């Protein structure tokens, strides 16, 4: 994925928050719920993956700094 196409973790979290607000709001429509749920599920999986990647990177950096 190129740098231009990469969505920031904070943007993904914001998108997920917006979906949650939609589900809790008055604009909730059952007809749209399945699609929005699928979007939320995909975002949640991407966020989880991103967090695991960040954790692995931080672990490596921590090891590198502890060697010095």
Domain extents in the chain: 9-67
pTM: 0.76
pLDDT for res 68? 59
The alpha-helical segments, DSSP class H, found in the chain are 9-24, 30-67
Each residue of 4-42: pLDDT tens digit? 457 899 999 999 999 999 999 998 888 899 999 999 999
Q: What's the gap between Cα 33 and its chain centre? A: 19
Residue 1 has pLDDT above 70, yes or no: no
Average pLDDT of the segment spanning 44-64: 91
Residue 15 and residue 49: Cα distance in Å, rounded?
A: 16
Contact 47, 9 (CB under 8 A): yes
pLDDT for res 5? 53
């Amino acid at each position: 994925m190129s740098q231009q196409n990469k969505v920031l973790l904070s943007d993904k979290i914001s998108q997920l928050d917006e979906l949650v607000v939609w589900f809790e709001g008055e604009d909730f429509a059952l007809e749209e719920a399945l699609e929005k749920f699928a979007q939320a599920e995909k975002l949640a999986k991407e966020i989880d993956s991103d967090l695991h990647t960040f954790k692995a990177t931080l672990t490596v950096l921590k090891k590198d700094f502890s060697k010095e």
